[in-house]
Each structure stands twice: as C-alpha cells, then as structure tokens.
Chain A
Amino acid sequence: QLWLQESGPGLVKPSETLSLTCTVSDDSISSNTYYWGWIRQPPGKGLEWLGSAHYRGSSYYNPSLKSRVTIFVDTSKKQFSLRLSSVTAADTAVYYCARTNIFGSVSPRWFDSWGQGTLVTVSS
C-alpha cells in the first residue's frame, strides 16, 4: 500500500527558505496518472493548496504564493520536494504532501493519498 512521508526542519527563521521532502513508497511517482503536491494547514485552520508537479516537468502553483514556491520531482529517489522562500510567521503550518490524481484529465484533480504531515514553525 502506498505511503508518503514528509521530512525536513521543524523550525525555519524568517526570510529564509523552507525546504521539505516527501518520500513515496512505490513507483507511482513515475506514473503519468499522478501529480505530486503540497498542501498546508495553519494551526486550527483550513487547508491551502500550494502546488503540484509531474515527473515529466510540468507544475502548477497557487498564485497567492507568487514566485515563492517551487516543487520538483526526483524519480530516482522516489521523492518530491517543496521550497518556499522568504518565509514569515504566516507560513507556520502543518505541511502535507499528497498524491494528486489526474484521472480522466491531464491536470491535477483530487488528492488520493496523503502523508501524515509535518509541523513547520517560522520563528527567530
């Protein structure tokens, strides 16, 4: 059964870059059927999609984050990564990685498998 696991620092200083990695347990990371995405949840709040990327190179990001976010897929390691630059306290959240299904389409649709999430706090 597929599992996803986030890893990375739990504390990041303001103005620095947040970097997280998600490890995927199976070969679906190289499948045409899926994008690989990041979603975050500030403490006590709702869900915000950050972006999704495909192993062939295409990617989509939340316009609200402008150019601060980058997601890339490394099939050789069965991993995909998130980079969020110039962080502030507003970026404090639990960050989830998730497999994004494109069934019947060519673009990201729903999230069918999630990692357990990792809390990232932005503080000096």
Chain B
Amino acid sequence: ETVMTQSPGTLSVSPGERATLSCRASQSVNSNLAWYQQRPGQAPRLLIYDASTRATGIPARFSGSGSGTEFTLTISSLQAEDFAVYYCQQYNDWPPLTFGGGTKVEIK
C-alpha cells in the first residue's frame, strides 16, 4: 500500500499570502495524484488531478506540481473561502486508493 504523508499538519497563513502544502508518497506514484479541499461541514471538492491539472471551475490561484514521490499544492493569494483542510490522494498503486492525512490551513 502506498502511504501518503502530508505536511505540515496545520499551516497558519494571513489572507492574501501564499500557502504551500506538501504531500509525499512512500513510493513513486508518477503524476497520478489529486488534491481536494474540504471546508468545515462540507464534502471534499476536487481541485487538482494528474498532479497539476485544475478541475473544472477551480480558480487559477490553485496550482499543483511535482511527480514521483514529492508534490506541492500552492495557493497563490489566500482568500477567506480557502481556509479549509486539504487532502492529497494517489491513484497509481491500488487497491487501495489512498489519501494523505490532510493539512489544515488556518487564518493567522
């Protein structure tokens, strides 16, 4: 099973600043990685797939990069609605499809 590890656990950022979230895979997942946003009390929402492709309707301030075992989600200028928990998910080595433990982005 491919274990996904996200860091940091919590990221404190001021509105308008850049946020950089990391996701590491225990073995190479090539570019088979997705990112999700989960606001409190809501279902996750797909942001990025194939490591760097934005999903339909996702603002350009969200960008993904990386391949192999190291991935990054960058939010270029945090808006109020971006404070949430973010999860990565690999779909290269499965079953099972696996998620990271999440990074909470909170207001500084």
Interface of A is mostly: strand
From B44, B46, B96, give the contact of A64 (CB < 8 A): B96
Among A110-124, those with CB < 8 Å from B are: 110-117
Could you say which of A101, A110, A114, A116 has the most chain B C-beta atoms within 10 Å of its C-beta? A110
Cα distance, A113 to B96, chains bound together (Å): 19
Q: CB of A61 within 8 A of chain B?
A: yes
Which residues of B sit under 8 angstroms from A47, Cβ to Cβ?
Answer: 36, 44, 87, 89, 99, 102
Distance in Å: Cβ of A36 to nearest Cβ of chain B:
13
Per the CB 8 Å criterion, the residue count for chain B at the interface is: 23
Knowing A108-B91, A110-B89, the reply to whether A49 touches B46 (Cβ < 8 A) is no
Q: CB of A80 within 8 A of chain B?
A: no
Task: Provide 28 A-B residue pairs closer than 8 Å at the C-beta atoms, listed in order of the A residue.
Answer: A46-B100, A46-B101, A46-B102, A47-B44, A47-B87, A47-B99, A47-B102, A49-B95, A49-B98, A51-B95, A61-B95, A62-B97, A63-B95, A96-B43, A101-B49, A107-B94, A108-B91, A109-B32, A110-B34, A110-B91, A111-B34, A111-B36, A111-B44, A111-B46, A111-B89, A112-B55, A114-B45, A116-B42
> Which residues of B pack against A, CB within 8 Å?
1, 32, 34, 36, 42-46, 49, 55, 87, 89, 91, 94-102
